[in-house]
Structure 1
Amino acid sequence: MHQVIYSSAGWESWGLAFRPAIPEGMSLLFDDDLLFEDSNGSRPVVVINRWACELPTNGVPAPRSWPYYVRTVREWLEFISEHGVSLFDTRTRLKAVLGSYSVYRARGPIKHRFAASTWNQSIGILAGFYKWAVGEGFAKAEPFTYRQGVSTFASQMRKGLVNQARRRQAKPHVTIKYLDEGFSDLFLKGLAGLDPDGERDLAYRGRELTRNAAVGRMVVSSGLRSQEFTYLLVSEVPALPSRRSEVPVAFPVPEGVTKGSKFRETWIDYDALAELWSYIDLDRAAATMGSPWRPPARWGGTADRVGGRPSRRAGERDQGAMGSSRSR
């Protein structure tokens, strides 16, 4: 079975009257013989692909999540097929193979084992898939059993169904891994080409030390994801307050770079922000000194604190705060 990422490039040569209504970048499945049906009718990959194409409107808008969702169902299908069970078999047979799958993911080959959090996430995806399949008339039953559960938040009690296949796992505050203060200091010194004592490391052969140190400190302080700080534009970096303050500075993260394209706000220490702006001012001055060139107005594009949308051509020249460009 093959899992590929869909692209509509060149669809005009496919002999179709219209562009396929498949989300760009969607993850799709194909059997080894590239057939979608046989003597038994439509194959399971047809249903899985249809479910995948509806993910963006069923609570999974982030393109990076689509391959994981499809892979979860694909691995389940491959496992149950080895035991002679079909994707939409009877509830009894599906429940039986689910037990085997649970043991396989808990105590099977090490490279195929799942931690409790990964298992619960996979079970949530499979449960969503089967609920969708039942609702669409593809399946008559699902392999999961539910019980009534009660949760409380902010003094409010809510009732809901709990999947019995879920494993118990530690509370979030127990599983959060914090970067040790001593190690983070050593890490930032390393980015700046310094030894543990803060002196210049003559054996270091890295490049862009000022940028690396400034960006590294910003990430440690603000907690930005790699995708967020990689494509951050200079105009989206918060302005440096006129006075130094012990209170962190608000750091709006534009929706164009966040996971799921959902705007959020984080915070950054004043000193980390000051170091970042010091690098930005130095880099901009070094890049433009003595040059009369300015981007033509016809290139268009907009950029401010809440987001930037440079044109494709302007994006090739306009460098972001991290030294990379973005066009979104």
Structure 2
Amino acid sequence: MFIDDDLQLEDEHGPRPVTVINRWLRELPINGAHSPRTWEAYALAVKSWAEFLTSHNVSLLASRKDLRDEISLYAQHRLSGELGDRLSSSSWNMAVKIIAGFYRWAAAEKYIDAEPFSYTSQTLWRPDGSKIEIQRNLATLRTANTHTGRKYLEQPFVDLLMNALAGNSPDGSADPRFRGNETGRNESLIGFALSSGLRAQEFAYLTIYEVPPLPGRSSSIPVTLPLAPPTTKGRKGRSSWVGFDALSAVHTYMDMERAAAVQGSSWNRKTLSGSRSQRMMGQNLMVSIDAGGI
């Protein structure tokens, strides 16, 4: 929730712009934005825009002409202004999308007469031959395709990272000066994450029940890695792939951790009821390979 410096939500002209922003934010969950991270990103984008308007003595709900003038100035400020204020092309496009969404909602709710952005229509053909019409906001910038803009960690840096996690020197030999712990876990899990390309949230909540079985023999073909919808972006669920060597390292660690945990124990599964036995076993395994605890 946002609030003005004088703690007022209304004045003689009615609800203040900050009140309108708060109402828009409250309705995000029922307008297609279900993630708390999305709410935060939307709030910060509109906040920055509102602060820029305030510095120019322009209302967030001004006329379309005034807002269009300010959008031009805001683009100059964000794309070619001071280095600390600049946004990348993708970040600028995201900010424009969020601000446009706010004004589209504000126009529908009669807070403004019309949204200040202009659009162009574009026709796309899908592989199945169907035609779709899309609109592009003319304030956005054209960016490279996703596959050309993606950044990869070069292999020498991957090798250096994996040696460091394993407690080795850069050349792969044992480092006698290393004083860290859990080298097997750290090396296997980070190798698994690098191989599968998991997002931070997906990696943090990964459990052993989601680790695919190890194929019977080595193969250059990666193994499918299904991911649970609650842990993926947008809660849509997806599948990734993981290499055989990375998967094998994780299974080796799981087997070693389990054997070390029960060595010398008199515990026997037969002494427990079925459901309780499975529950306790699951808890032990979850602790041993919680991907968030590196």
TM norm. shorter chain > 0.5: yes
The answer to whether residue 251 in structure 2 is matched with residue 277 in structure 1 is: yes
Q: How does 1:190-229 map to 2 (within 5 A)?
A: 190-229=164-203
> What's the secondary structure of 1:30's corresponding residue?
coil
Runs (5+) with no aligned partner, structure 1: 1-27, 304-309
Runs (5+) with no aligned partner, structure 2: none
CA contact (8 A) 2:220 2:244 kept: yes
For residues 296 and 50 of structure 1, what CA distance do their matches in structure 2 show?
53
For residues 172 and 31 of structure 2, what CA distance do their matches in structure 1 show?
51
Partner of 1:292: 267
For residues 141 and 207 of structure 2, what CA distance do their matches in structure 1 show?
42
Q: Percent identical across equivalent pairs?
A: 40
CA contact (8 A) 1:232 1:320 kept: no
- Return the match for 1:161 from 135, 144, 154: 135
How much has 1:198 moved relative to structure 2? 0.9
**Which of structure 1's runs of 4+ aligned residues deviate more than 6 A?**
293-303
Partner of 1:140: 113
Cα RMSD (Å) of the superposition?
Answer: 2.7
Q: TM-score, normalised by structure 2?
A: 0.88
How much has 1:288 moved relative to structure 2? 3.4
- Return the match for 2:240 from 235, 255, 266: 266
Cα deviation 1:211-250 (Å, max 9, x = unaligned): 1100111011100112212221111211112222221111
Report how many aligned residue pairs link the two structures: 288
Partner of 2:46: 73
The answer to whether residue 60 in structure 2 is matched with residue 87 in structure 1 is: yes
CA contact (8 A) 1:119 1:166 kept: yes
How much has 1:293 moved relative to structure 2? 9.1
> What's the secondary structure of 2:57's corresponding residue?
coil
- Return the match for 2:15 from 42, 55, 76: 42
Partner of 2:77: 104
For residues 115 and 277 of structure 1, what CA distance do their matches in structure 2 show?
41
Partner of 1:322: 290
Q: TM-score, normalised by structure 1?
A: 0.80
CA contact (8 A) 2:204 2:292 kept: yes
Cα deviation 1:64-115 (Å, max 9, x = unaligned): 1211111101111110111121111111100111111010001112111011
How much has 1:31 moved relative to structure 2? 2.2
